[in-house]
C-alpha cells in the first residue's frame, strides 16, 4: 500500500487530522507553524515534506509524493497517543512545491483545513534576495554556464578553480572589492546590497541561477506548469494564483493570514485561527509565546539544506511586532521588479480582499490597527505604508469619502517614497475585480533570457 493510501485510510478512520499551511516564500509561515503546533491539541509538526534537496531529486512527481507522505507518516507514528482523539499534525508547505494538479488534489483530500499565508510582496521578495547571496556562495555550480560565457567575453580561462570562485570574480568585475586582501569580493557585494537595499546588480545572475536553485525545474510535470521558466518561481506567487482556486472550500476549509497582521495583532489573529481550526480558544495564549510549551515532535529533514535559511524563524518562541519596512520596487532585479508588478502584488491584493482573510475591516478597526506601535516611535502604518494602503484599498466595507480620506492620508505621508506602488494598487483596484479567486488571473511571467546582456 502506498504512503498516500495509508494516510488516506488514517484520515478516513478519524485517526489523523492534518492542518495545512500553504505559503509563498518568506510570509511568516514558519513562525505560524511553530505557533499553531504549540497548541495543546496539536501533536506534531512536519515542515515542507515536498521539499526537494540535493542529492535526492526524483525524476517524477510520484516519487516525490511518496517521500513526502512517508515523512508525514513518520510524524504520525512518533506523535501517536491513546486518548481517543486523532493525531493532529501541522504541515507547512511552499506553494511552489504544489503546482501539479493531481498532487494538489491528493493533498487537498488529506488536509482537514488550510491556512494560506501572505505578506507584502516587497518584504517577502527582499527577504528572498537577502538569502540568495548565501545560496549563490554555497552552490556556485548554479552559475556555470553564465561563468563560461563571462570567461569567453572577458578573456578568462574557465578552469575548475575559476568556476568555483566565479561569484567573487563577478563581484570584483562590478566594482565591489574586499579590502581585507582575502578576495571575498562577493561578501563585499552582499554587504553593499543589504546595507543599501539595492539588488539590481543580480539581474544577470538570476537568468541562470533561479532555474538552477528551484529544483522543481527538474521535474517534467512541473515544467508544464511554468511555460515561461523558473527565474522568479522561488517566490511562490506564480503558483499561488493557481493553487487557491484548486482547493475545495467546502465547510469553510480555507482561511488566509497576513504574516504582518499576525505579528501586529496576535491576539485577534490567533483567536480567529483557533476558530478556523476548531481548536480551544482557552489555550490560544500559548500560541503567542510558546517558549515554555511542551516540545512537540518535528521532522528534521530540512536541517541539512535549510538550517541557515530557517534560522531565526525556526528558533522563534513568540510572536513579535513587525518592524520591517518595504523596499522600493526599483531596487529589485529587473525580473523581480516585473514579477512584483504583474504577479505578486495583484495576487496579494486579491488575497487581502478575499472574505476568508483574517483582517480588520471598517474605518475604526483599520485606524486602530495602523496606529498600533510596533517599534519605538513607529506605528504599523508608518512602518509599512504599502500594507496600510493595501488594507484600505481592499476593504469592501469602506466606501466613498471614508476610503478616499484614509488613502489620501497614507499618500500625504508616504507618497514621495511609494507613489509608484500606490498608483499600481489604484490601477489594480479599478482595472479588475479584486477578491474573486474563482477565476484564474492572467499575467505575463518574465521571459527566459530576456534581461541577459548580449
440, part of any domain: no
Say if residue 252 is in the same domain as residue 190: no
Cα distance between residue 90 and residue 81, in whole Å: 16
pLDDT at 307: 57
Which residue(s) pair with 93 in the sheet?
A: 22
Say if residue 238 is in the same domain as residue 118: yes
Say if residue 120 is in the same domain as residue 239: yes
Decide: 216 and 99 in contact? Cβ < 8 Å.
yes
Say if residue 134 is in the same domain as residue 97: no
Phi, psi of 397 (to 5 degrees): -90, -15
Q: Which one-letter DSSP state was computed for residue 175?
A: T
| Overall number of domains in the chain | 3
Rg (CA), the chain: 22
**Domain limit, last residue, from 289, 314, 339:** 314
**Which segments of 341-440 does DSSP mark as H helices, in order?**
345-353, 363-370, 380-383, 385-393, 400-431
**CA 194 vs CA 184, 198, 200, 327, 331: distances in Å:** 16, 7, 12, 11, 11
Say if residue 160 is in the same domain as residue 263: no
343, part of any domain: yes
pLDDT at 303: 58
**CA 123 vs CA 83, 94, 322, 328, 434: distances in Å:** 43, 17, 11, 10, 21
Decide: 379 and 413 in contact? Cβ < 8 Å.
no
438, part of any domain: no
pLDDT at 122: 98
376, part of any domain: yes
258, part of any domain: yes
Say if residue 72 is in the same domain as residue 23: yes
Residues in the chain, overall count: 454
Say if residue 343 is in the same domain as residue 426: yes
Question: C-alpha cell of 354?
Answer: 478575499
Say if residue 136 is in the same domain as residue 10: no
Say if residue 91 is in the same domain as residue 24: yes
Domain harbouring 54, CATH code: 3.40.50.300
130, part of any domain: yes
Say if residue 107 is in the same domain as residue 146: no
**Domain limit, last residue, from 285, 314, 343:** 314
pLDDT at 232: 96
pLDDT at 250: 79
445, part of any domain: no
Say if residue 37 is in the same domain as residue 160: no
Question: C-alpha cell of 62?
Answer: 510520484
320, part of any domain: no
**Domain limit, last residue, from 258, 290, 314:** 314
Say if residue 285 is in the same domain as residue 374: no
Q: Which domain holds residue 172?
A: 126-213
One pLDDT digit (tens) per residue for the chain, 454 residues? 999 999 999 999 999 999 999 999 999 999 999 999 999 999 999 999 999 886 668 888 999 999 999 999 999 999 987 788 999 999 999 999 999 999 999 999 999 999 999 999 999 999 999 999 999 998 899 999 999 999 999 999 999 999 999 999 999 999 999 999 999 999 999 999 999 999 999 999 988 999 999 999 999 999 999 988 999 999 999 999 889 889 998 778 999 999 999 999 999 999 999 999 999 999 999 999 999 899 888 887 665 555 555 556 777 899 999 999 999 999 999 999 999 999 999 999 999 999 999 999 999 999 999 999 999 999 999 999 999 999 999 999 998 999 999 999 999 999 999 999 999 999 998 864 444 433 333 333 333 333 333 3
Cα distance between residue 188 and residue 211, in whole Å: 25
Amino acid at each position: 500500500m502506498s504512503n498516500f493510501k495509508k494516510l488516506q485510510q488514517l484520515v478516513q478512520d478519524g485517526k489523523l487530522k492534518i492542518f495545512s499551511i500553504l505559503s509563498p516564500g518568506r510570509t511568516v509561515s514558519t513562525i505560524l507553524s511553530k505557533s499553531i503546533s504549540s497548541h495543546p491539541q496539536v501533536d506534531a509538526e512536519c515542515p515542507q515534506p515536498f521539499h526537494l534537496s540535493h542529492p535526492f531529486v526524483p525524476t517524477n512527481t510520484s516519487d516525490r509524493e511518496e517521500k513526502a507522505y512517508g515523512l508525514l507518516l513518520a510524524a504520525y507514528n512518533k506523535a501517536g497517543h491513546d486518548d481517543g482523539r486523532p493525531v493532529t499534525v501541522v504541515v507547512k508547505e511552499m506553494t511552489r512545491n504544489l503546482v501539479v494538479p493531481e498532487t494538489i488534489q491528493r493533498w487537498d483530500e488529506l488536509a482537514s483545513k488550510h491556512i494560506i499565508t501572505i505578506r507584502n510582496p516587497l518584504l517577502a521578495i527582499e527577504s528572498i534576495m537577502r538569502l540568495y547571496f548565501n545560496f549563490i556562495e554555497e552552490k556556485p555550480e548554479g552559475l556555470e554556464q553564465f561563468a563560461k560565457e563571462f570567461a569567453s567575453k572577458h578573456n578568462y580561462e574557465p578552469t575548475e578553480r575559476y568556476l568555483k570562485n566565479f561569484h567573487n570574480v563577478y563581484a570584483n568585475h562590478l566594482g565591489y572589492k574586499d579590502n581585507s586582501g582575502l578576495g571575498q569580493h562577493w561578501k563585499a557585494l552582499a554587504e553593499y546590497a543589504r546595507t543599501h537595499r539595492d539588488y539590481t546588480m543580480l539581474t544577470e545572475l538570476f537568468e541562470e541561477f533561479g532555474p538552477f536553485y528551484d529544483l522543481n525545474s527538474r521535474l517534467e510535470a512541473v515544467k508544464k506548469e511554468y511555460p515561461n521558466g523558473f527565474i522568479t518561481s522561488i517566490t511562490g506567487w506564480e503558483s499561488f494564483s493557481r493553487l487557491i482556486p484548486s482547493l475545495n472550500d467546502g465547510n469553510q476549509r480555507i482561511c488566509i493570514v497576513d504574516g504582518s497582521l499576525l505579528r501586529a495583532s496576535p491576539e485577534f489573529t490567533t483567536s480567529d485561527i483557533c476558530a478556523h481550526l476548531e481548536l480551544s480558544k482557552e489555550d490560544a495564549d500559548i500560541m503567542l509565546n510558546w517558549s515554555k510549551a511542551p516540545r512537540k515532535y518535528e521532522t528534521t529533514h530540512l536541517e541539512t539544506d535549510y538550517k541557515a535559511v530557517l534560522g531565526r524563524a525556526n528558533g522563534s518562541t513568540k510572536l513579535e511586532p513587525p518592524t520591517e519596512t518595504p523596499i522600493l520596487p526599483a531596487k529589485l532585479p529587473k525580473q523581480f521588479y516585473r514579477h512584483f508588478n504583474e504577479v505578486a502584488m495583484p495576487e496579494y491584493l486579491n488575497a487581502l480582499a478575499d472574505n476568508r482573510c483574517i483582517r480588520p475591516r471598517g474605518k475604526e478597526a483599520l485606524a486602530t490597527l495602523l496606529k498600533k506601535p510596533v517599534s519605538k516611535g513607529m506605528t504599523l502604518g508608518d512602518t509599512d505604508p504599502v500594507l496600510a494602503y493595501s488594507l484600505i484599498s481592499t476593504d469592501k466595507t469602506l466606501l466613498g469619502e471614508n476610503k478616499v480620506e484614509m488613502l489620501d492620508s497614507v499618500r500625504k505621508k508616504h507618497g514621495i517614497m511609494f507613489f509608484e506602488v500606490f498608483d499600481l494598487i489604484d490601477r489594480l483596484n479599478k482595472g479588475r475585480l479584486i477578491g474573486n479567486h474563482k477565476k484564474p488571473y492572467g499575467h505575463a511571467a518574465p521571459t527566459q533570457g530576456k534581461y541577459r546582456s548580449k
